[in-house]
């Protein structure tokens, strides 16, 4: 665990409530090993009303660029202030924190299920599975098309299936309604997102005698 200042390289709004912030160590330190499912604690230094750091999932790590990505949902003053940090300014992070997903030791059929901003750690996990020579599949869900984030990044790592509640992208309904779950058998399922979604995915996995890991986290404003 480290406490370190990072320079914001870019801050891009992805939709009406999410920003993608890419950061690199301000002192040019090499990023330590980090793993999918871990998170950082971000200091909110530009608000007089927010005193606690905000936990944010590690979205991706680019070792070649010495860069970490943070996908942040604006849900209150704390996360809104973080998302107002422009390129060139500093963010103070405590990192890496928490447990990580288990990376399988042998090739298999792996499904990564993410809902809303819960897709954040799935991109990093997909990259790690790629590095092992595996071809993961992704099942992403959201209320509408604009809630499906980083689609092209996921498509670069494997086959992507989508569900939206309004039917604007992919199949209409929830992730557990998608036909891919009826037509395939998986060796292991990873999931992150709203609690009801993860419960439904875990129930599906148990019914089908499939291993499953869920990233349990609570949003903070």
| Regions in the chain scoring below 70 on pLDDT | 217-221
* CA 35 – CA 149 distance, rounded (Å): 20
Q: What local confidence, expressed as pLDDT, does residue 93 receive?
A: 99
The string of pLDDT tens digits covering residues 58-88 is 999 999 999 999 999 999 999 999 999 999 9
Which regions of the chain carry the CATH code 2.40.30.10?
2-97
In contact, 38 and 96? CB cutoff 8 Å: yes
Which regions of the chain carry the CATH code 3.40.50.80?
110-215
Global pTM reads: 0.95
Q: Which residue has the tokens 């609690």?
A: 195
Q: What local confidence, expressed as pLDDT, does residue 47 receive?
A: 82
End-to-end CA distance of the chain: 23
* CA 221 – CA 218 distance, rounded (Å): 10
Q: Of how many residues is the chain composed?
A: 221
CATH (residue range 110-215): 3.40.50.80
CATH (residue range 2-97): 2.40.30.10
């Amino acid at each position: 665990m480290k406490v370190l200042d990072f320079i914001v390289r870019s801050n891009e709004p992805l939709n009406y409530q999410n920003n993608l912030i890419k950061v690199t160590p301000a002192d040019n330190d090499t990023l330590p090993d980090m793993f999918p499912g871990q998170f950082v604690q971000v200091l909110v230094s530009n608000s007089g009303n927010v005193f606690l750091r905000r936990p944010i999932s590690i979205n991706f790590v680019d070792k070649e660029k010495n860069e970490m990505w943070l996908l942040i949902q604006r849900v209150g003053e704390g996360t809104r202030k973080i998302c107002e940090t422009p390129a060139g300014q500093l963010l103070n992070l405590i990192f890496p924190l928490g447990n990580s997903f288990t990376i399988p030791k042998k090739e298999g059929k792996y499904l990564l299920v993410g809902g809303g901003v819960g897709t954040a750690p799935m991109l990093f996990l997909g990259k790690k599975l790629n590095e092992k020579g595996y071809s993961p599949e992704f099942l992403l869900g959201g209320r509408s098309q604009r809630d499906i984030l980083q689609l092209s990044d996921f498509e670069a790592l494997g086959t992507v299936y989508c569900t939206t509640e309004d039917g604007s992208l992919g199949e209409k309904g929830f992730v557990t309604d998608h036909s891919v779950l009826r037509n395939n058998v998986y060796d292991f399922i990873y999931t992150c997102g709203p609690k009801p979604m993860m419960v439904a995915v875990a129930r599906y996995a148990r019914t089908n005698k499939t291993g499953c890991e869920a990233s349990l986290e609570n949003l903070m404003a």
